[in-house]
Amino acid sequence: MPLPILAVLMPGDMGHAVGRVLREHGHRVLTCLAGRSARTRGLAEAAGLDDAPDLNALVGEAHMILSILPPARALAQARDVAKAMEELGSQPIYVDCNAISPALTAQVGEVIAGAGAAYIDAGIIGLAPGKGPAPRFYVSGPDTAPMEALDGKGIEVLALAGGIGAASGLKMCYAGLTKGKWTLYTSVLVAAERLGLSEALEAEFAFSQKGDLAAMHQRVPRLPADSERWIAEMEEIAATFAGAGVPSGFHEGAAEIFRLLARTPFAGETRETIDASRTLEESIKVYAAHIAAKRSR
């Protein structure tokens, strides 16, 4: 039997790499590049993805669609796909792999169910395929077997009990630690810079917090390249925590830190063009200057 035809929307840093490994394991993988940037087109071409002329053509041919894009666009994309499904009478399985709250994934699921298609909630943890261990796709919902069939094809697929929302909830809790910690690092260092205490604080960290200091040097200068698309992820984490009865203010603050970083000159970089020579100290001075400029307006 031929393998199911898969589609990846959209082929960004994670999406194109997922599409590539699935294609390398025998699947035909579609995407739709209409209106996409030259960078996205280059990533899709490098991954060997087939470009459908429009969304209707993709929906009409794919057996399963993996939605992998910034969380702020998850619901709108689901609506676009559902509209195409209704127009065509075609119902490929729809897998939302985005960093969204359990409440939002339930909304997306309702949109897809309204078009008559099956829905799988998914959350991705890990780096894109080819950058380390295979990323883990946690999946939940009434029938996760179609995604579980992709386990070992460049990705790891792990099914969770609990239905729609479980996979997204796990992703939110995980990213609440990882990306939340990076914004905490940034907040602490910018505050010290504005108080004139950067050298003294780094010296203390070098003595008593070596692991955190090493992580600061590694991560904090690189954050602006991803900052704009992580704002909505922090907002989704805050919504998840609030829904669970947990204070949401920390991650609302994390969203503000990413808004700050998105206004710096470094935000125009991509993961391919980040200035790897830029130091933590240089980065923090620029971040602090942008806070000062904001406060003076």
Residue ranges of the chain that CATH labels 1.10.1040.10 = 169-296
Helical ranges in the chain per DSSP H: 13-24, 38-47, 55-61, 74-88, 102-114, 145-148, 166-194, 198-208, 210-219, 224-243, 249-262, 280-296
- What pLDDT, on the 0 to 100 scale, is given for residue 296? 59
**Residue 276 reports pLDDT greater than 80:** yes
Quote the pTM value. 0.95
User: Is pLDDT above 70 for 144?
Assistant: yes
C-alpha 137/C-alpha 157 separation (Å) is: 5
User: Any idea which architecture 6-164 has in CATH?
Assistant: 3-Layer(aba) Sandwich (3.40)
Kindly report the average pLDDT of the chain as a whole number: 96
Q: Measured between alpha carbons, how far is 99 from 121 in angstroms, rounded to an integer?
A: 10
Start-end ranges of CATH 3.40.50.720 in the chain? Answer: 6-164
Query: 169-296 has which CATH code?
Result: 1.10.1040.10
Beta strand pairing call for 119-125 and 136-140: antiparallel
- Inter-residue contact 56 to 87 (CB < 8 Å): yes
pLDDT value at 293 more than 80: no
Taking alpha carbons only, the member of 22, 17, 19, 46 closest to residue 31 is 19
Of 99, 141, 137, the residue nearest 233 (C-alpha): 99
